Amino acid sequence: MQEFSTAIVGAGAAGLAAAISAKRRGTSCVVCERLPKIGKKILASGNGRCNLSNEDLSAGNYNEGSKGLVTSVFGKFGSSAIKDFFHGLGLELVSEDNRIFPATNQSSSVLKALELEIEKLEVPIELGFTVERIESGNKGFFVVSASGKRISCSSVVITGGGNSYPALGSDGSAYKLASSLGHTIVPPVPSAVPLMVKDPLCHLAQGQRIEAKVKAMISKEVVAQSCGDLMFTKYGFSGTAILDISRNVSIALNRQPSKSVYLEVDIVPFIGEDELASNIERAARDGRPHEDVLAGVLPLKISAALKWLISVGNPAIIAKKLKSMRFEVIGTRGWNEAEFTAGGVDALEVDPVTLGSKIKKGIYFAGEVLDVDGRRGGYNLAWAWASGFVAGTAVPR
C-alpha cells in the first residue's frame, strides 16, 4: 500500500494545479485519475484553443451562492496570479476581449506545460484509478479504487469535476464521494447547454445560423438575455446566444419543473420594427411569393420556412412577430452537450480560506465539483486553476 501526505482525486485542471502547488510546498502527493490519460477536458476546452482565464474574475461573473467562496479564492490567486503561474511554466498568453488564451492557440500547449511541471516535481499519477470510496484510516484516510488498490494519506483533495462531458473524465462520481463524507449536494443541472424547443420552424430551418437577441422567460419574468449566434436544430436551438442564457432555464426546468419556461427571440435585431414593416410591405406590393418576402432580411432557408407568417398579410403584425418570436422550452440537451455543471458540493460547507471541508477535517474540494459555475469566457477554467492552487497550498505537509 502506498503512503502520501495528500491524495488528489482527478487529474483535470483543478487537480493538476493542486498537485503542483502542494508539491512546491514540499507536500508528498499523488494524483488519482480514472482515465488512461490526464487533462482530456483541458484539451477540449475553448474548441481546442483553451480559453484558460479572464482578465475580470469578479464574483459577479459566478452564481449567486458561490460569491463568498469565489471572492476569497480569487483574492489569493486571481487573474494576475493565474497568468504568472502559466508564464512560470513557460507558456505565453494573449488576451482577446478580456479572454485569455495560450499564444499558440492550442489547448495541447497548456496541458504540455502542466505535464512538464508535474514531471519536474516528480508527482506520481495513478492512471486508471477509479476512486470508489474514501475510508477513515490510521493516518487519516484510505483512498480505495474500484479494483481494491489502497492509498494511505492524511488529507484528500477532491477535484473530480461535475457531470458535463463524462467521456472526458467528469462523470459525477465526485459527488458520491462528497456525499458519503456528509456533504450536501446542490442538484447538478447542465449549464451552457443547447435547449429543446418543439416548433416546426426549428425543424425546417435546422442547420441555419443567424445573429439574434434572446430573452429567457420564466413565469413571465425575464431572467436572462443575450445577443449573439443562434443556430436552429432539429430539436430546438444552440449557439452562443442560447448557451449564455441556458443556466437559468436549465435550473427552472430541472429543479422547478412546474414553471413555465419560454424564449423570446428577436431574429432580426439589426433592423427596427417600423423599418422592417415597411420592407415587408414593399416586398409584398412588388408581388413577391410569400417564401421570398423576407429573402433580403433573413437567410433563404428561414425566409421560406416563415412563408406561413407572411400569409398573415399585415406587415406591422409580421414585423412585431419577427422581433419577438416565442418558443416554449421543453427541456435541455444532455450532459454530453453541456459545457458546464450548475450545482455540486454546497459552498457553505467549505472553508472559503482553505477550501477545506467544514464537515470532515482533512478533506478539501476544488474545481467544478463545488457549487461554483461562471459565465462562458474562461471563468470556469480560471476557477479550476485558482481553487486547485489554493487547496493544494492549504493541505498540511
Q: Which residues contact 229 (CB under 8 A, 6 or more apart)?
A: 209, 210, 211, 212, 239, 240, 241
Mean pLDDT computed over every residue of the chain: 95
pLDDT over 70, % of the chain: 100
- The CA-CA-CA angle for residues 378, 379, 385, to 5°, reads 90
- Asked if residues 379 and 62 have their Cβ atoms less than 8 Å apart, the reply is yes
Q: What is the pLDDT of residue 47?
A: 84
Q: What is the pLDDT of residue 138?
A: 78
What does the domain layout of the chain look like in residue ranges?
Answer: 2-190+338-394, 195-332
Confidence check: pLDDT of 72 > 70 = yes
pLDDT digits (tens, 9 = 90+) for 264-294: 999 999 999 999 999 999 998 999 999 999 9
Confidence of residue 258 (pLDDT cuts 50, 70, 90): low
Q: What is the pLDDT of residue 257?
A: 73
> What is the average per-residue pLDDT within 158-164?
93
Instruction: Tell me which CATH homologous superfamily contains domain 2-190+338-394.
Output: FAD/NAD(P)-binding domain (3.50.50.60)
Confidence check: pLDDT of 259 > 80 = no
145-153 long-range CB contacts below 8 Å, 24 or more apart?
145/32, 150/1, 150/2, 151/1, 151/2, 151/3, 151/4, 151/7, 151/30, 151/32, 151/126, 152/1, 152/2, 152/3, 152/4, 153/3, 153/4, 153/5, 153/6, 153/7, 153/30
Q: What is the pLDDT of residue 170?
A: 80
> What is the average per-residue pLDDT within 210-227?
95
pTM: 0.93
pLDDT digits (tens, 9 = 90+) for 332-379: 999 999 999 999 999 999 999 999 999 999 999 999 999 999 999 999
Q: What is the pLDDT of residue 1?
A: 74
Q: What is the pLDDT of residue 24?
A: 98
Q: What is the pLDDT of residue 27?
A: 97
> What is the average per-residue pLDDT within 292-306?
94
Confidence check: pLDDT of 166 > 70 = yes
Confidence check: pLDDT of 13 > 90 = yes
Confidence check: pLDDT of 169 > 80 = no
Confidence of residue 322 (pLDDT cuts 50, 70, 90): very high
- Asked if residues 367 and 13 have their Cβ atoms less than 8 Å apart, the reply is yes
> What is the average per-residue pLDDT within 139-161?
95
